[in-house]
Amino acid sequence: MGEPGIIKKLDEEVVNRIAAGEIVQRPANALKELIENSLDARSTNIIITVKAGGLKYLQIQDNGTGIRHDNLDIVCERFTTSKLSHYEDLQAISTYGFRGEALASISHIAHLTILTKTAHDKCAYKASYENGKLKGPIKPCAGNNGTQITVEDLFYNVLARKRALRSPSEEYSHIMEVVGGYAIHNSGVGFTLKKFAENTDIKTPIKSTVIENVRIIHGNSIARELLEIELKDPTLKLSVHGYITSVNYSHRKGTMLLFINHRLVDSPSIRKAVDCVYATYLPKNTHSYVYLSLELDPKNVDVNVHPTKHEVQFLYEEQIVEKIKTAIESKLLSCNSSRVMYTQSRLPGATMVEEIVKRTTDGAKIYAKDLVRVDSDTQKIDKFFRVADKLAKENSSPQTDNKKDLTTIEKRDSTVVGIKLDGRKEIDRTNNLYHNAEQNMDVDMTEGIRTDNKNIENPNKVRFVFEDSDHLNDLETSIMEHDKSNDPKDLNDLESSLISEPNKANDPKETWKSAAVDNANITYIDPKESFKTRTFKHERVETKLTSIKQLRLSIENKCNMNLREILANLIFIACIDCHRSLIQHSTKLYLCDTTRLTEELFYETILYDFQNLGLIRLSNPLPLEELFVLGLRSQEEEWNPELGDMRELSQQMCKLLVSKRAMLLEYFSLEVTAQGELSALPLLLDNHTPFMGALPIYLVRLVTEVNWDSEKECFDTLSRQTAIFYSQPNPDTLEDAIKSKMWKQEHVIFPAIRRNFLPPTSFVGNGAILQIASLSDLYKVFERC
């Protein structure tokens, strides 16, 4: 057993040096203390110059109050401070310093020089220190108001510490962190950081803002995503202010800039809580940027848990952390939903699509969440349904006759036209019509839509001919009766017949156009390019009427180019029912009110194809008077006896339409004979016929709702009423009828919408087109799972 060691009192210098080494562990700690001193001295501009990561040279120049000349001799002694005189003050201290240790500590481990001038002094004074004591006399010299503290050869006498800090660049990055943090927190104060004789690395202006300083220090990618956090809790005596990045920003290395009572500190519990909130939103292993400034009752904060005061403890920690967590969570959530709103309201002016298109053309990386399946036809869900349907049908009716496509169409349409006026209820109506159709329309598709030279000034005009039943002679009020005759086996034929658009012109323009439509998924249609070019199968009659030009102009003015962009490049996904459809554009899914879209489409069609509309000719003209009676009767409950006899009124109505017949035919392709019969309806869209059950009401409205006195209003209201009539879906609820309607929507209506439709801005707000999902948002959800 050896002798026990002799206990000796350590040399005071050694004690101080050890203490200093604990307080100042690296240059950044020293700088932090010096910056805090400058801020306490109410400086507005702080310039820091560094050599070799601060190990060789660290200078801080401020424009604060300066140090009194008579304090200079003791300023670097331990426990000398101007900020605290009683123990009780410790509890209420609101400045950075409080123990008068910083300068003393630094002077024990480095060569320290102070150059300072107060506003009252005539000149500046310079003093050097060693081990807390003045080294040599205080010299008067030239200098600005404020203080300049120079720290040279840090750790020159603590070699172990110096050896531990071998990388000046690492030390410099710590210095940058400290300066950046204080610059963001004290945005009113200008901060400059530069390496000796080199360019500045950080320079924030005086009276800047937090966001501006974040932009200067961290760049725009963080600054543009900043969301403000504000929280006050009187019971916890807590107030929080700060900025956090939205969920759009994520980075492998996150930043947590935390100030408690204006002191840059770390709080593991707050850091953990913040990370925990973001983990729900951000991709794995990425983090956010968070700057929080907490103000707590100084009584509740203990800063002395760590020698460098880097970590703090505070009362009610759990509750405070929970409050912060909730505040951040609700901010992110509200910004998430407002992002959805944002995209919705961006619909009109959205650049999203352009961004994607641009990125694609730039050849930049496209993330999976932005990828769009290009060929919807190869993968559509309903494709499988149809195959299944077909198989089922083939099995049930092996001798399906798919001979005449048009026959089927006409069969269907003629049953729709099945209006009988002789008061006799026809039981076998559908069968007869079927029969008649077979007899009368032994034509194929190309003949179905044909050019009818009779009666028309323009021989090229397309005429859609109904050679349907004689039964129209003995019409009956079967308007609302639904056609129950649709032979299910014909449905596929009907559909296939409609796919092949008849009379597709060899016109290259037309071919281009249809190519764009058919290959919808691969051809990008520039909405601006396409919306004014409408294609016609016949020679166009250019209208000279100003009223029509004005109405067209108003459509164009109301047109929302972003909606147009969406619709021009839409991919049809599915029909939900007769009134609603789902479409996709880029990475977004939209719900469309089909009826509203169709009405608007037809309204525009009438005005743009004014004087150029085709005809749907009824082989047997329908007596207008009878139709008016039907129309009035269907509104019987609203019938006012003062209006007189229904039949008399019908006669007058009929007279009015007859008197307008020339105009109706020339402009709207609505043909009324001199004898008061309706012989043709306008053809607005190939393969689309209106629901004839609504014809009587339409005719009544033509008389009652159309303003026949003023030209422009007349064309406007007439077009509107016709559009309403044509957009009304057949209320038939039979499964096959519904299928056929849905099929028409996909293959007739939506292609037309793609081609020419100019959606009005009102569609954005009224729910006609609603964005219901976005792939990138879904990705975020999946990433979290």
**150 or 679: whose CB is closer to ligand ADP?**
150
Q: Please calculate the CA angle 262-263-267 and round it to the nearest 5 degrees.
A: 115
Structure tokens given for 680: 């043709």
Q: In this chain, which of 32, 33, 260, 685 binds ligand ADP, going by CB under 6 A?
A: 33
Asked if 30 interacts with ligand ADP (CB under 6 A), we say no
Q: Does 543 bind ligand ADP (CB under 6 A)?
A: no
Are the C-beta atoms of 39 and 186 separated by less than 8 Å?
yes
- Nearest to ligand ADP by Cβ — which residue? 97
565 binds, among ligand ADP, Mg ion, none (CB under 5 to 8 A by kind): none
| Site stretch for ligand ADP (CB under 6 A), options 30-38, 297-305, 436-444, 724-732 | 30-38
CA dihedral in degrees (69, 71, 72, 75; nearest 10)? -160
Which of residues 81 and 486 has its CB atom nearest to ligand ADP in the complex? 81
Task: Using the rule CB under 6 A, give the single segment among 75-83, 427-435, 463-471, 723-731 that binds ligand ADP.
Answer: 75-83
- Of 333, 359, 357, 355, the closest CA to residue 346 belongs to 355
416 binds ligand ADP (CB under 6 A): no
Q: Does 147 bind ligand ADP (CB under 6 A)?
A: yes
Q: Which two tokens stand for residue 198?
A: 């080199």
Angstrom distances, CA of residue 276 to CA of 281, 284, 286, 311: 10, 12, 12, 20
Smallest distance, Å, CB 365 to ligand ADP? 49
Q: How far apart are CA 590 and CA 392, in angstroms?
A: 32
**Which one, 102 or 525, has the nearer CB to Mg ion?**
102
CB of 24 to ligand ADP, least distance (A): 11
Residue from the set 57, 62, 243, 479 that interacts with ligand ADP by CB under 6 A:
62
36 vs 495, beta carbon nearer ligand ADP: 36
Cβ nearer to Mg ion, comparing 102 with 296? 102
Compose the 97-116 pattern: x for residues touching ligand ADP by CB under 6 A, - for all others: xxxxxxxx------------
In 3D space, the residue among 269, 331, 330, 277 whose CA is nearest the CA of residue 294 turns out to be: 269
Nearer to ligand ADP, 80 or 451 (CB): 80
Q: Is 37 in the site for ligand ADP (CB under 6 A)?
A: yes
CB-nearer residue toward ligand ADP: 102 or 264: 102
Residue 302 structure tokens: 């203990």
| C-alpha–C-alpha distance, residues 133 and 131, integer Å | 5
Pick what 75 binds: Mg ion, ligand ADP, none; C-beta below 5 to 8 Å, kind-dependent.
ligand ADP
Q: Which does 81 bind (CB under 5 to 8 A by kind): ligand ADP, Mg ion, none?
A: ligand ADP
**Binding of ligand ADP at residue 38 (CB under 6 A)?**
yes
Is the CB of residue 194 less than 8 Å from the CB of residue 49? yes
User: Quick one: what does residue 168 bind among ligand ADP, Mg ion, none, with the CB cut-off 5 to 8 Å set by partner type?
Assistant: none
Identify residue 60 by its one-letter amino acid code. I
User: Residue 98's binding partner, choosing from Mg ion, ligand ADP, none, with beta-carbon cut-off 5 to 8 A by kind?
Assistant: ligand ADP
The encoded tokens of residue 494 equal 């009907």
The separation between CA 180 and the C-alpha centre of its own chain, rounded to angstroms, equals 33
Rounded Cα distance between 523 and 512, Å, is: 11
- Report CA-CA distances (Å) from 626 to 229, 268, 420, 425, 556: 71, 85, 10, 16, 39
192 binds, among ligand ADP, Mg ion, none (CB under 5 to 8 A by kind): none
Q: Is 604 helix (H, G, I), strand (E, B) or coil?
A: helix
Name 235's Cβ contacts closer than 8 Å, sequence gap at least 6: none
**Of Mg ion, ligand ADP, none, which one sits near residue 100, judging by CB under 5 to 8 A according to partner kind?**
ligand ADP
Do residues 577 and 756 lie in contact, with contact meaning Cβ atoms separated by under 8 Å? no
- Going through 118-254 in order, the beta strands assigned E by DSSP cover 124-130, 133-141, 146-152, 190-195, 200-204, 226-233, 238-245
Given the complex with ligand ADP, which of 40 and 225 has the nearer CB atom?
40
CA angle 337, 338, 343 (to 5 degrees): 100
Least separation in angstroms between residue 193's CB and Mg ion is 19
Q: Does 53 bind ligand ADP (CB under 6 A)?
A: no
Identity of the amino acid at 308: T
Number of residues that bind ligand ADP (CB under 6 A): 23
Residue closer to ligand ADP, measured from CB, 100 or 682: 100
Nearest to 626 by CA among 680, 692, 676: 676
Q: How far is the CB of 102 from Mg ion (least distance, A)?
A: 4
What residues make contact with Mg ion under the rule CB under 5 A? 37, 97, 102
Compute the chain's Rg from CA coordinates.
Answer: 42
Q: How far is the CB of 179 from Mg ion (least distance, A)?
A: 17
With CB under 5 to 8 Å by kind, the binding choice for 147 among Mg ion, ligand ADP, none is ligand ADP
Q: Which stretch binds ligand ADP (CB under 6 A): 59-67, 241-249, 596-604, 719-727?
A: 59-67
Beta-sheet strand order (sheet of 190-195): 133-141, 124-130, 111-117, 146-152, 57-62, 45-51, 190-195, 200-204
User: Among residues 101 and 600, whose Cβ is nearest to Mg ion?
Assistant: 101
Pick the binder of ligand ADP from 53, 54, 64, 759 (CB under 6 A).
64
Give the shortest CB-81-to-ligand ADP separation in angstroms.
3
- Closest contact distance (angstroms) between CB of 91 and Mg ion is 18
Residues binding ligand ADP (CB under 6 A): 33, 37-38, 41, 62, 64-67, 75, 80-83, 97-104, 147
